[in-house]
Chains A and B, each alone.
Chain A
Amino acid sequence: MTREHGNSFYGPLDDPAADAGHLDHPPRVGFFTDTSVCIGCKACEVACKEWNDVPEDGLGLLGMSFDNTGMLGASSWRHVAFIEQQRPLGGQDAGLSALPTGPSVTDAQEEVVADALRGTERGGGELGTAPVDLGFPSFDLPGAATGAETRTDFRWLMSSDVCKHCTHAGCLDVCPTGALFRTEFSTVVVQQDICNGCGYCVSGCPYGVIDRRPDDGRAWKCTLCYDRLRGGLEPACAKACPTDSIQFGVLDELRERADRRLEQLHGAGVAEARLYGRDPDDGVGGDGAFFLLLDEPEVYGLPPDPVVPTRDLPDMWRYAGVAASALLAAAAAVFVGGGGRR
């Protein structure tokens, strides 16, 4: 285990599973989602729900292009975003950047969208199309253009979002019950037999991924199909994905693959292609699920610079160290003493 300038709560961390006590563990696995080949079919959303018995998450039409899921949440562990862009690339803001990414129980989801709609010029038609910028509508007056010619630069981006399984997972680090844990695969999983629904994790996630279900109160999110991994199977979403936009594998290999793909796209003139969550030096120590995007992260509803909220925890611990040590020592003394050793 190397920690050049990182630690258990922040910075690069080569082996999160070992850091979490898994000796002799399998390599870290994750997702590389190449959004440049996503066809927006949503097979990932359905395959995830079928495998994990995730309930239906609301039957409302959101009007955000073909996206009727809205965002990740307790009952949507995969979410395909659709972004319609009328302009050629470069500084394009898809209008979704103003939307928060969670929490996402159905009511909140609809409220968020409704709020966004009220503030737009074309009743929301431009959502995912153009900047939400009241002063500069992005289209000409009716009849001034005949569409076909003027929309040759039009593009429609699709991207399947998922829990990032961060190297430093805010949800996990703030969980007081041990419900959230780091698996031997370095993924982050909520254990439903332990979760008591306190909800600390919801505010601990810098991506707004994890959420509580209104009916049972517990927190739910992508497990990266922990049960399937234990049986040597790839996660349901990656298996279903018709175009291999969602690729599952050993994280190191995925990163290499992603680097090659990026190089290939840059070579092909797709200068705007970039990796998101690939960098171990970022605010969460790199993501276990990272992405190739064709625009700024905000365009896809992703935070541009996520930082784990426990970044400063070691410092805080240092200040509180004496008290904490005393408490732990006392606890250990009581229980170890009481249990005895054989």
Chain B
Amino acid sequence: MKIPYSKQDQYVYTALRFFSLVVVCLLIAIIFQLFMASKLAFDEFGLSFVTDDFWNPVDDEFGALAFIFGTVVTSILALLIAGPVSVFVAIYTNEFLPKKIASVLGLFVELIAAIPSIVFGLWGLYYLAPFVKNFLAPFLKKYLGFLPFFQGSSFGIGILTAAIILAIMIIPTITSVCREVFKSIPNLRKEAALGLGATKYEMVKIAILKPSFSGIMGALVLGLGRALGETMAVAMVIGNNPVISSSLFSAGATMASVMANEYAEADSELHLSALCYVGLLLFVVTFFVNLMARTIVWNNSRKSKR
């Protein structure tokens, strides 16, 4: 029964390597499958799939531009809303609030991240959408109606509502990364700025925001990565209508939402394959966005260590 100890360690190591390889191979197999499943649509539509904006399951004609448009517009809009708010909250919790209150606010923000997407969707469908329809849209129309973004009538569900939900959902991500970034700045620098007679605002600007610019960028890109792939909440409030419209009040659809809506019902093979193609595109895009975020954050943390 006695196995020499060095052998024992070797067996364990081999077993660990084996399981790791299994995981790696599994992912490779899955990605391969995804490519294979998209092949039919790729052969049919090629790269023009990305630039065509018709999506017609009845006639088996597919182009994903409207979904890409919807995804990009909702995500960017969400980022525009969530970005400043998150940075402010991160500054407020890190630099201004007493520790106890800060940890409570921090916990609340994290709890937002824990709420399932479907619950946000339900809330968005029944409460946010009517709110947008009855209050926000008329308000925006009254004061900013001259812009093309705020024209037409709002039915509540649409791009604007989806973007607001997305913004709420990515705030915890951005806030948390920003807080980490701000924490890495030595106190000495903040005190030095205050010592020069700077107001608190000037101190934040000089000693916190400027040096952590790239870190904040990384946080935003990470938030973007999340927003791009968010599915259920968006699918429930965006209206799922693949049109490209300049108005934020109009219904739309995103890459994730179309998959959620049509996958289980797709019966033609080409339709399924087109959905896989959309999935593949989403996978590739989020992969590169996350890679970018990681590179930025990583560079930043390396810089601050120096």
A and B interact physically = no
